Structure 1
Amino acid sequence: MLGLGTHRIPAEQLAAAARRAASCPSGWIDTAPNYCGGRAHRLLAPALADHPQLRVATKAGFLTPAAARAAHAADVIETPEVRHSIDAGFVRWQTERSRTELGRYQVDAVFLHNPEDGHRGDHDTLANRLRAAFTVLEEEVREGHLAAYGVATWSGFTDGAFTVPLLDRLATEAADGPEHHLRYLQVPVNLVVDAHLDQALNGRGPIAQASQRGWEVHASAPLHGGELLTLATPEVAALIQAGAGIAAACLAAAASCPGVSRVLLATANPAHWNDALAVTGAPAIPPQTLRTVLDVLATPD
């Protein structure tokens, strides 16, 4: 259930990390056109060409300055100063551009990247734009350019921008029926931003709702951008799993969240990758143990 996240991997190490991920039987790479200063797709393309079985997901949402200039020249955004968009025309343009850069006729998934950005509090406009974007992505699936699509969000659920039932309904409307191709959800799952983990342990929230619909749920930021390595203590690690180090314990907590089907880890270190493979391949931490950990973390010192 381990996937390679590419957000924090240095450009010069990205290709080697991708080839390492390809050694996994169900290798998965999560990337975006704005990663590595806009170079991530091109840096990944050779590894993807050498490993056709390696699955890859990218995103549409954030633009680098160079991409914004190109998108403006293509008349899909209003000004070259735009840095985020989920407008239908832009999503179509970005999806085609991503396929070309990645060297893939078909991409395994495209995530709308933090669609809540720029629409804080304007739920009706956001819903309309999500529906229009889903319509474009359904067209890409029908044309064979895309296997499925999803939503990757940091705060969309916790801020109340949307819900899983709403996303499901909008995708149903976009597909003119229930057989839509919204199949993925990506949310942060860790011991710092623990709302989704907390809800999932009680069978509630977006992870549980997505899992009930048969969607894959990908856990992003399992180590909270590496901050958990200094924020967590050996005592917390021992509470999660006796004898485990801090990194392994925190990663195991994210991987054991009920409903999570894949954990995304950004690392270019071979030893760290191998350790993560072992952790995510081990039996899950019991839900009651994770509940105890969250209760301890919530208790004031």
Structure 2
Amino acid sequence: MATWSGFTEDAFTVPLLDRLAREAAGSSEHHLRLLQLPVSLVVDTHLREALHGAGPITHAADRGWEVHASAPLHGGELLTLATPEIAALIQEGAGVAAACLAAAASCPGVEKVLLSTSRTAHWEAALAMTREPAIPPATLRTVLDVLATPV
């Protein structure tokens, strides 16, 4: 199941999707096993919820479903919106792109981050970032609090 705004617009919930899949299958043995939704420092609702043990990412992970984060760089816009200071707050010494990807990849319950790029160097940098330890939840909460603070 992939959606951009289905959860934030209250079109459905993970329990509802699970119930509908069970009804369609005629049993609890259905094939709905993956959820894809935006997770980034721009579209941060799902990240915030997951950091508090709530929301669709947590509900899907609790059911054993895979969760894939889409749009981790918000279509590339995040690279101009985020600052080196935010990147340093996320992960000292990281560039803006790597730090923003690390934030999405470190979201509790997210197993994979979907990314597109046209350059091999960007792909290799993103792959290297995924091999780094996850950003601690407390750090992610601090970053989100900083980003939410009015200027």
With normalisation by structure 2, the TM-score equals: 0.99
Aligned-pair identity (%):
77
User: Aligned-pair distance for 1:280?
Assistant: 1.1
User: Aligned-pair distance for 1:231?
Assistant: 0.2
User: Aligned-pair distance for 1:282?
Assistant: 1.2
**Corresponding residue for residue 113 of structure 1:** none
The structure 2 residue matched to 1:170, chosen from 20, 28, 33, is 20
For these two proteins, the number of residue pairs brought into alignment is: 151
Unaligned runs of 5+ in 2: none
User: Aligned-pair distance for 1:281?
Assistant: 1.6
Deviations 1:43-82 (A, max 9, x none): xxxxxxxxxxxxxxxxxxxxxxxxxxxxxxxxxxxxxxxx
Q: Which runs of 4+ in 1 moved over 6 A?
A: none
**Corresponding residue for residue 36 of structure 2:** 186
Deviations 1:31-54 (A, max 9, x none): xxxxxxxxxxxxxxxxxxxxxxxx
**Corresponding residue for residue 233 of structure 1:** 83
CA–CA separation in structure 1 for the residues paired with 2:134 and 2:124: 18
Q: Matches of residues 47-62 of structure 1 in structure 2 within 5 Å?
A: none
Q: Matches of residues 256-295 of structure 1 in structure 2 within 5 Å?
A: 256-295=106-145
CA–CA separation in structure 2 for the residues paired with 1:248 and 1:272: 9
Deviations 1:211-258 (A, max 9, x none): 000000010000000001100001100000001000000000000000
Looking at secondary structure, tell me which structure has more strand per residue: 1
The structure 2 residue matched to 1:205, chosen from 49, 52, 55, is 55
The structure 2 residue matched to 1:157, chosen from 7, 10, 18, is 7
Q: Given the alignment of the two structures, is residue 214 of structure 1 paired with residue 64 of structure 2, yes or no? A: yes
Cα RMSD after superposing both structures: 0.5
CA–CA separation in structure 1 for the residues paired with 2:128 and 2:119: 15
Q: Flag the structure with more relative contact order, 1 or 2, with Cα contacts below 8 A and sequence separation at least 6.
A: 2
Greater Cα radius of gyration, structure 1 or 2: 1
CA–CA separation in structure 2 for the residues paired with 1:247 and 1:241: 11
Deviations 1:238-293 (A, max 9, x none): 00000100000000000000000110001121000000001012110000000000
Unaligned runs of 5+ in 1: 1-150
